[in-house]
Chains A and B, each alone.
Chain A
Amino acid sequence: MTDLLAIRGLTYKRNFKVILRDINCHVESGQTIGLLGANGAGKTTLMRLIAGSAPHFLGSISVDGATQLVARKAAVSFSEQTNGLPLNLRVDRAVAAWAAWYPDFDREQFELVAQFMDIDHHARLGSLSKGNLKKVVIALSLARRAKLYLLDEPFDGIDSMTRKKIIAAIIQWKPFDATLLISDHHVGDIANILDRVMIIEGRELVANEEADDIRATGKSIEEYFEDVHAGRVQHD
Protein backbone atom coordinates (compact mmCIF):
# COMPACT_ATOMS: atom_id res chain seq x y z
CA MET A 1 0.00 0.00 0.00
CA THR A 2 1.07 3.57 -0.56
CA ASP A 3 1.53 6.26 2.03
CA LEU A 4 -1.47 8.53 1.91
CA LEU A 5 -0.17 10.79 4.62
CA ALA A 6 3.48 11.39 5.45
CA ILE A 7 4.66 13.76 8.18
CA ARG A 8 8.35 14.40 8.71
CA GLY A 9 9.95 16.42 11.48
CA LEU A 10 6.86 18.51 12.07
CA THR A 11 7.30 21.15 14.74
CA TYR A 12 4.77 23.88 15.31
CA LYS A 13 5.15 26.91 17.53
CA ARG A 14 2.72 29.66 18.29
CA ASN A 15 3.44 32.75 20.38
CA PHE A 16 6.92 31.34 21.14
CA LYS A 17 5.31 28.24 22.63
CA VAL A 18 5.88 24.77 21.22
CA ILE A 19 2.51 23.19 20.40
CA LEU A 20 3.83 20.10 18.58
CA ARG A 21 7.38 18.77 18.58
CA ASP A 22 9.08 16.64 15.92
CA ILE A 23 6.09 14.61 14.74
CA ASN A 24 6.96 11.79 12.32
CA CYS A 25 4.49 9.31 10.85
CA HIS A 26 3.32 7.51 7.74
CA VAL A 27 -0.24 6.42 7.15
CA GLU A 28 -1.33 3.93 4.49
CA SER A 29 -4.39 4.54 2.38
CA GLY A 30 -7.61 2.85 3.48
CA GLN A 31 -6.84 2.93 7.19
CA THR A 32 -8.96 4.20 10.06
CA ILE A 33 -6.81 5.78 12.73
CA GLY A 34 -7.67 6.95 16.21
CA LEU A 35 -5.77 10.07 17.22
CA LEU A 36 -5.88 9.98 20.98
CA GLY A 37 -4.68 12.39 23.61
CA ALA A 38 -5.87 14.41 26.57
CA ASN A 39 -7.65 17.71 25.99
CA GLY A 40 -5.12 20.30 24.87
CA ALA A 41 -2.54 17.72 23.80
CA GLY A 42 -2.47 19.12 20.26
CA LYS A 43 -4.83 16.80 18.36
CA THR A 44 -6.85 19.57 16.75
CA THR A 45 -3.70 21.53 15.92
CA LEU A 46 -2.23 18.49 14.16
CA MET A 47 -5.43 18.12 12.14
CA ARG A 48 -5.39 21.81 11.20
CA LEU A 49 -1.79 21.48 10.05
CA ILE A 50 -2.60 18.41 7.93
CA ALA A 51 -5.69 20.07 6.45
CA GLY A 52 -3.68 23.14 5.47
CA SER A 53 -5.59 25.56 7.69
CA ALA A 54 -2.53 26.40 9.81
CA PRO A 55 0.56 27.63 7.90
CA HIS A 56 4.09 28.37 9.16
CA PHE A 57 5.43 25.14 10.58
CA LEU A 58 8.77 23.35 10.43
CA GLY A 59 9.12 20.01 8.67
CA SER A 60 6.96 18.59 5.91
CA ILE A 61 3.43 17.26 5.50
CA SER A 62 2.32 15.46 2.39
CA VAL A 63 -1.19 14.22 1.61
CA ASP A 64 -1.41 11.87 -1.36
CA GLY A 65 1.90 13.29 -2.55
CA ALA A 66 0.79 16.93 -2.25
CA THR A 67 2.78 19.19 0.05
CA GLN A 68 1.39 22.58 -1.03
CA LEU A 69 -1.22 24.11 1.26
CA VAL A 70 -3.85 24.57 -1.44
CA ALA A 71 -3.43 21.04 -2.81
CA ARG A 72 -3.70 19.59 0.67
CA LYS A 73 -6.86 21.57 1.38
CA ALA A 74 -8.44 20.03 -1.69
CA ALA A 75 -7.48 16.47 -0.80
CA VAL A 76 -8.66 16.63 2.80
CA SER A 77 -12.18 16.74 4.22
CA PHE A 78 -11.88 18.23 7.71
CA SER A 79 -14.88 18.41 10.05
CA GLU A 80 -13.76 21.78 11.40
CA GLN A 81 -14.29 23.36 7.98
CA THR A 82 -18.01 23.39 8.78
CA ASN A 83 -17.33 25.93 11.57
CA GLY A 84 -17.42 28.59 8.88
CA LEU A 85 -21.11 28.00 8.18
CA PRO A 86 -23.37 30.71 9.66
CA LEU A 87 -25.66 29.30 12.35
CA ASN A 88 -28.80 30.94 10.98
CA LEU A 89 -28.43 28.86 7.80
CA ARG A 90 -30.93 26.07 7.21
CA VAL A 91 -29.48 22.59 6.65
CA ASP A 92 -30.49 22.47 2.96
CA ARG A 93 -28.84 25.88 2.37
CA ALA A 94 -25.69 24.65 4.12
CA VAL A 95 -25.66 21.65 1.80
CA ALA A 96 -25.99 23.93 -1.22
CA ALA A 97 -23.11 26.08 0.05
CA TRP A 98 -20.99 22.99 0.56
CA ALA A 99 -21.75 21.76 -2.96
CA ALA A 100 -20.68 25.14 -4.33
CA TRP A 101 -17.46 25.32 -2.30
CA TYR A 102 -16.22 21.78 -2.73
CA PRO A 103 -16.17 20.31 -6.25
CA ASP A 104 -15.80 16.80 -4.78
CA PHE A 105 -19.03 17.11 -2.78
CA ASP A 106 -21.36 14.23 -3.65
CA ARG A 107 -24.95 15.25 -3.05
CA GLU A 108 -26.32 11.72 -3.46
CA GLN A 109 -23.91 10.48 -0.82
CA PHE A 110 -25.00 13.28 1.50
CA GLU A 111 -28.67 12.34 1.08
CA LEU A 112 -27.92 8.69 1.89
CA VAL A 113 -26.02 9.55 5.05
CA ALA A 114 -28.59 12.22 6.01
CA GLN A 115 -31.46 9.76 5.63
CA PHE A 116 -29.61 7.14 7.67
CA MET A 117 -29.01 9.64 10.48
CA ASP A 118 -32.50 11.27 10.33
CA ILE A 119 -31.22 14.73 9.55
CA ASP A 120 -33.91 17.41 9.30
CA HIS A 121 -33.18 19.46 6.15
CA HIS A 122 -35.32 22.40 7.20
CA ALA A 123 -33.89 23.06 10.65
CA ARG A 124 -31.53 25.98 11.15
CA LEU A 125 -28.01 24.97 12.18
CA GLY A 126 -28.22 27.13 15.30
CA SER A 127 -31.45 25.47 16.46
CA LEU A 128 -30.05 21.92 16.32
CA SER A 129 -29.05 20.05 19.45
CA LYS A 130 -25.36 19.31 19.89
CA GLY A 131 -25.86 15.73 18.70
CA ASN A 132 -27.91 16.68 15.65
CA LEU A 133 -25.39 19.36 14.67
CA LYS A 134 -22.60 16.78 14.87
CA LYS A 135 -24.62 14.52 12.58
CA VAL A 136 -24.85 17.29 9.98
CA VAL A 137 -21.10 17.94 10.30
CA ILE A 138 -20.32 14.22 9.84
CA ALA A 139 -22.67 13.92 6.87
CA LEU A 140 -21.18 17.01 5.17
CA SER A 141 -17.64 15.75 5.84
CA LEU A 142 -18.27 12.20 4.61
CA ALA A 143 -20.11 13.37 1.50
CA ARG A 144 -16.95 14.82 0.02
CA ARG A 145 -15.01 12.44 -2.21
CA ALA A 146 -11.74 13.03 -0.41
CA LYS A 147 -8.61 10.93 0.03
CA LEU A 148 -8.31 11.83 3.67
CA TYR A 149 -11.04 12.55 6.22
CA LEU A 150 -10.28 14.28 9.49
CA LEU A 151 -13.00 14.09 12.12
CA ASP A 152 -12.19 16.12 15.20
CA GLU A 153 -13.89 14.83 18.37
CA PRO A 154 -17.06 13.70 16.58
CA PHE A 155 -18.37 12.12 19.79
CA ASP A 156 -17.75 14.96 22.22
CA GLY A 157 -20.85 15.47 24.36
CA ILE A 158 -22.94 13.00 22.37
CA ASP A 159 -25.33 10.39 23.81
CA SER A 160 -24.54 6.74 23.19
CA MET A 161 -27.37 6.10 20.69
CA THR A 162 -26.17 8.95 18.48
CA ARG A 163 -22.56 7.77 18.85
CA LYS A 164 -23.51 4.32 17.59
CA LYS A 165 -25.38 5.86 14.68
CA ILE A 166 -22.39 8.04 13.73
CA ILE A 167 -20.03 5.05 13.94
CA ALA A 168 -22.34 2.96 11.76
CA ALA A 169 -22.42 5.81 9.21
CA ILE A 170 -18.63 6.00 9.19
CA ILE A 171 -18.26 2.25 8.63
CA GLN A 172 -20.78 2.29 5.85
CA TRP A 173 -19.79 5.43 3.97
CA LYS A 174 -16.05 5.87 4.29
CA PRO A 175 -14.74 5.08 0.79
CA PHE A 176 -12.75 1.85 0.90
CA ASP A 177 -9.43 3.39 -0.15
CA ALA A 178 -9.85 6.62 1.81
CA THR A 179 -8.04 7.20 5.07
CA LEU A 180 -9.83 8.42 8.17
CA LEU A 181 -8.31 10.10 11.18
CA ILE A 182 -10.65 10.44 14.20
CA SER A 183 -9.58 12.31 17.29
CA ASP A 184 -11.02 11.51 20.68
CA HIS A 185 -9.99 12.13 24.27
CA HIS A 186 -11.45 8.81 25.40
CA VAL A 187 -11.50 5.67 23.30
CA GLY A 188 -14.81 4.02 24.20
CA ASP A 189 -16.99 3.16 21.24
CA ILE A 190 -14.58 3.87 18.41
CA ALA A 191 -12.00 1.29 19.54
CA ASN A 192 -13.58 -1.44 17.40
CA ILE A 193 -13.36 0.47 14.14
CA LEU A 194 -9.71 1.49 14.43
CA ASP A 195 -6.90 -0.10 12.41
CA ARG A 196 -4.31 1.95 14.19
CA VAL A 197 -3.92 4.10 17.28
CA MET A 198 -1.77 7.22 17.55
CA ILE A 199 -1.32 8.95 20.87
CA ILE A 200 -0.21 12.54 21.40
CA GLU A 201 1.19 13.28 24.82
CA GLY A 202 3.24 16.23 25.97
CA ARG A 203 3.29 17.77 22.45
CA GLU A 204 4.82 14.64 20.94
CA LEU A 205 3.55 11.60 19.08
CA VAL A 206 4.40 8.95 21.67
CA ALA A 207 2.63 5.89 20.26
CA ASN A 208 1.70 4.64 16.81
CA GLU A 209 0.51 1.02 16.96
CA GLU A 210 -1.84 -1.33 15.16
CA ALA A 211 -5.02 -1.77 17.22
CA ASP A 212 -5.03 -5.58 17.01
CA ASP A 213 -1.31 -5.68 17.93
CA ILE A 214 -2.20 -3.88 21.16
CA ARG A 215 -5.04 -6.34 21.87
CA ALA A 216 -2.68 -9.24 21.12
CA THR A 217 -0.73 -8.21 24.25
CA GLY A 218 -3.90 -8.76 26.29
CA LYS A 219 -4.62 -5.05 26.76
CA SER A 220 -7.67 -3.18 25.58
CA ILE A 221 -7.06 0.02 23.60
CA GLU A 222 -8.44 1.93 26.55
CA GLU A 223 -5.98 0.34 29.00
CA TYR A 224 -3.12 0.94 26.57
CA PHE A 225 -4.07 4.60 26.27
CA GLU A 226 -4.22 4.94 30.06
CA ASP A 227 -0.85 3.19 30.43
CA VAL A 228 0.79 5.50 27.89
CA HIS A 229 -0.79 8.49 29.60
CA ALA A 230 0.58 7.32 32.96
CA GLY A 231 4.01 6.69 31.43
CA ARG A 232 3.80 2.92 31.95
CA VAL A 233 4.61 2.07 28.32
CA GLN A 234 8.17 2.30 27.05
CA HIS A 235 8.57 3.85 23.63
CA ASP A 236 11.49 4.94 21.51
Chain B
Amino acid sequence: MEFNAKIPIYYQIEQYIIREVITGHFDAGAQLPSVRELAPQLAVNVNTVQRAVAELVTTGLIVPQRGKGNFVTTNMEVIVNLRARIVKEQVATLYERLNALKITPSEMEFYLHQYIQEQEATNND
Protein backbone atom coordinates (compact mmCIF):
# COMPACT_ATOMS: atom_id res chain seq x y z
CA MET B 1 0.00 0.00 0.00
CA GLU B 2 1.30 3.43 -0.99
CA PHE B 3 0.78 6.18 1.55
CA ASN B 4 0.25 9.86 0.93
CA ALA B 5 3.08 11.60 2.81
CA LYS B 6 0.89 14.57 3.74
CA ILE B 7 -1.97 12.73 5.45
CA PRO B 8 -1.66 11.04 8.88
CA ILE B 9 -0.82 7.39 8.26
CA TYR B 10 -3.14 6.03 10.95
CA TYR B 11 -5.98 7.81 9.14
CA GLN B 12 -5.03 6.27 5.78
CA ILE B 13 -4.97 2.80 7.35
CA GLU B 14 -8.35 3.49 8.95
CA GLN B 15 -9.78 4.44 5.54
CA TYR B 16 -8.16 1.39 3.94
CA ILE B 17 -9.81 -0.99 6.43
CA ILE B 18 -13.18 0.76 5.95
CA ARG B 19 -12.85 0.28 2.18
CA GLU B 20 -11.99 -3.38 2.64
CA VAL B 21 -15.13 -3.90 4.73
CA ILE B 22 -17.42 -1.91 2.44
CA THR B 23 -16.20 -3.71 -0.67
CA GLY B 24 -16.68 -7.05 1.06
CA HIS B 25 -13.00 -8.09 1.27
CA PHE B 26 -13.56 -8.33 5.01
CA ASP B 27 -16.98 -9.79 5.79
CA ALA B 28 -19.08 -8.81 8.77
CA GLY B 29 -17.87 -10.88 11.71
CA ALA B 30 -14.54 -11.73 10.04
CA GLN B 31 -11.36 -11.67 12.09
CA LEU B 32 -8.83 -8.99 11.20
CA PRO B 33 -5.14 -9.92 10.93
CA SER B 34 -3.39 -9.00 14.16
CA VAL B 35 -1.76 -5.60 14.52
CA ARG B 36 1.63 -7.31 14.52
CA GLU B 37 0.80 -9.06 11.23
CA LEU B 38 -0.56 -5.93 9.59
CA ALA B 39 2.39 -3.68 10.47
CA PRO B 40 5.00 -5.47 8.29
CA GLN B 41 2.47 -5.90 5.47
CA LEU B 42 1.77 -2.17 5.43
CA ALA B 43 5.44 -1.30 6.16
CA VAL B 44 4.53 0.94 9.09
CA ASN B 45 5.11 0.54 12.80
CA VAL B 46 2.82 -1.35 15.15
CA ASN B 47 1.72 1.77 17.10
CA THR B 48 0.36 3.36 13.91
CA VAL B 49 -1.76 0.30 13.07
CA GLN B 50 -2.85 0.14 16.70
CA ARG B 51 -4.07 3.73 16.54
CA ALA B 52 -6.04 3.10 13.32
CA VAL B 53 -7.69 0.06 14.90
CA ALA B 54 -8.45 2.02 18.08
CA GLU B 55 -10.22 4.69 16.00
CA LEU B 56 -12.28 1.99 14.24
CA VAL B 57 -13.18 0.46 17.60
CA THR B 58 -14.53 3.88 18.60
CA THR B 59 -16.71 4.05 15.47
CA GLY B 60 -17.95 0.52 16.20
CA LEU B 61 -16.75 -1.02 12.94
CA ILE B 62 -14.23 -3.17 14.74
CA VAL B 63 -15.05 -5.09 17.88
CA PRO B 64 -12.14 -6.37 19.95
CA GLN B 65 -12.63 -9.69 21.69
CA ARG B 66 -10.48 -10.31 24.70
CA GLY B 67 -7.76 -12.85 23.96
CA LYS B 68 -9.10 -13.56 20.48
CA GLY B 69 -8.30 -10.48 18.44
CA ASN B 70 -10.21 -7.91 16.43
CA PHE B 71 -13.36 -8.65 14.45
CA VAL B 72 -15.45 -6.74 11.95
CA THR B 73 -18.76 -5.91 13.60
CA THR B 74 -21.79 -8.09 12.88
CA ASN B 75 -24.00 -5.05 13.43
CA MET B 76 -25.07 -4.33 9.85
CA GLU B 77 -26.41 -0.92 10.82
CA VAL B 78 -22.86 0.27 11.54
CA ILE B 79 -21.63 -0.98 8.15
CA VAL B 80 -24.61 0.46 6.26
CA ASN B 81 -24.17 3.85 7.95
CA LEU B 82 -20.47 3.89 7.18
CA ARG B 83 -21.17 2.98 3.57
CA ALA B 84 -23.69 5.81 3.32
CA ARG B 85 -21.15 8.22 4.82
CA ILE B 86 -18.48 7.23 2.28
CA VAL B 87 -20.93 7.63 -0.63
CA LYS B 88 -21.94 11.07 0.66
CA GLU B 89 -18.31 12.12 0.94
CA GLN B 90 -17.60 11.04 -2.64
CA VAL B 91 -20.74 12.73 -3.93
CA ALA B 92 -19.80 15.89 -2.06
CA THR B 93 -16.37 15.93 -3.71
CA LEU B 94 -17.87 15.43 -7.16
CA TYR B 95 -20.51 18.09 -6.48
CA GLU B 96 -17.89 20.62 -5.35
CA ARG B 97 -15.78 20.03 -8.45
CA LEU B 98 -18.69 20.32 -10.87
CA ASN B 99 -20.07 23.31 -9.00
CA ALA B 100 -16.68 25.02 -9.36
CA LEU B 101 -17.10 24.56 -13.12
CA LYS B 102 -20.53 26.28 -12.94
CA ILE B 103 -22.38 23.10 -13.87
CA THR B 104 -26.02 23.36 -12.78
CA PRO B 105 -27.61 20.68 -10.56
CA SER B 106 -29.94 19.54 -13.36
CA GLU B 107 -26.99 19.19 -15.72
CA MET B 108 -25.18 17.14 -13.06
CA GLU B 109 -28.17 14.86 -12.72
CA PHE B 110 -28.48 14.52 -16.48
CA TYR B 111 -24.83 13.63 -17.06
CA LEU B 112 -24.60 11.28 -14.10
CA HIS B 113 -27.71 9.48 -15.26
CA GLN B 114 -26.41 9.30 -18.82
CA TYR B 115 -23.03 8.01 -17.65
CA ILE B 116 -24.64 5.26 -15.58
CA GLN B 117 -26.70 4.14 -18.57
CA GLU B 118 -23.62 4.08 -20.81
CA GLN B 119 -21.70 2.04 -18.25
CA GLU B 120 -24.55 -0.43 -17.93
CA ALA B 121 -24.76 -0.75 -21.70
CA THR B 122 -21.03 -1.53 -22.06
CA ASN B 123 -21.14 -3.95 -19.13
CA ASN B 124 -24.04 -5.85 -20.73
CA ASP B 125 -22.20 -6.31 -24.03
Question: Contact: B43 with A193, CB < 8 Å?
Answer: yes
Contact A191 B45 (CB under 8 A): no
B82 CB to closest chain A CB (Å) equals 22
CB-CB under 8 A from A164, the residues of chain B are 43
Do residues B6 and A218 form an inter-chain contact, with CB atoms below 8 A? yes
Contact with A222, one of B5, B43, B44 (Cβ below 8 angstroms): B5
- The prevalent SS among residues of B at the interface is helix
Q: Is the C-beta of B3 less than 8 angstroms from some C-beta in chain A?
A: yes
Choose one: A30, A171, A216; the contact of B44 (CB below 8 Å): A171
Task: Check B47 against A168 for contact (C-beta < 8 Å).
Answer: no
Q: A192-B3, A195-B48 are in contact. Are A211 and B9 (CB under 8 A)?
A: yes
Distance between B51 CB and nearest chain A CB, rounded to angstroms: 8
Assess whether A129 is interfacial by the CB under 8 Å rule: no
Q: Which residues of B contact A191 (CB under 8 A)?
A: 5
Residues of B within 8 A of A32 (CB): 45, 47
Q: Chain A residues with Cβ under 8 A from B40's Cβ?
A: 168, 171-172
Complex Cα–Cα for A148 and B12 (A):
29
Contact B43 A168 (CB under 8 A): yes
Task: Give the tally of cross-chain contacts (CB within 8 A).
Answer: 53
Q: How many residues of B contact A (CB 8 A)?
A: 18
- A195-232, CB < 8 A from B: 195, 211-213, 215-216, 218-223
B47 near A31: Cβ-Cβ < 8 Å: yes
Residues of B within 8 A of A101 (CB): none
Q: Is B79 part of the contact surface with A, judged by Cβ < 8 Å?
A: no
Bound-state CA distance A195–B5 (Å) is: 14
Does A176 touch B at the CB level, under 8 Å?
yes
- Neighbouring A residues of B8 by C-beta, 8 Å: 212-213, 215-216
Q: Contact at B44–A192, with CB atoms within 8 Å?
A: yes
| Most-contacted residue by chain A among B5, B36, B51 (CB, 10 A) | B5
Q: Is A167 engaged at the interface, CB distance under 8 Å to the other chain? A: yes
B116 neighbours in A (Cβ, 8 Å): none
The yes or no answer to B121 lying at the interface (CB within 8 A) is no
Q: Is A61 an interface residue (CB 8 A)?
A: no
- Give residues 102-124 of B contacting A (CB, 8 Å): none
Provide the bound-state CA to CA distance between A174 and B39, in Å: 12
How distant is the Cα of A14 from the Cα of B5 in the complex, in angstroms? 39
B47 touches A195 (CB 8 A): yes
Contacts of B7 in A (CB 8 A): 215
Task: Say whether B26 faces chain A, with CB atoms less than 8 Å apart.
Answer: no
Chain B positions within 8 Å of A31 at CB level: 47
Do A171 and B6 have beta carbons less than 8 Å apart?
Answer: no
Residue numbers of B with Cβ under 8 A of A are: 3, 5-11, 36, 39-40, 43-48, 51
Shortest beta-carbon contacts, A-B, top 10: A220-B5, A212-B8, A215-B8, A193-B45, A32-B45, A220-B6, A172-B40, A171-B40, A192-B44, A216-B8
Give 18 A-B pairs besides A164-B43, A212-B10, A215-B8 with Cβ atoms closer than 8 angstroms: A168-B40, A168-B43, A171-B43, A172-B40, A174-B45, A176-B36, A192-B9, A193-B43, A193-B45, A194-B45, A195-B48, A212-B8, A213-B8, A215-B6, A215-B9, A218-B6, A219-B6, A222-B5
- Chain A residues at the B interface, C-beta cutoff of 8 Å: 30-32, 164, 167-168, 171-172, 174, 176, 191-195, 211-213, 215-216, 218-223
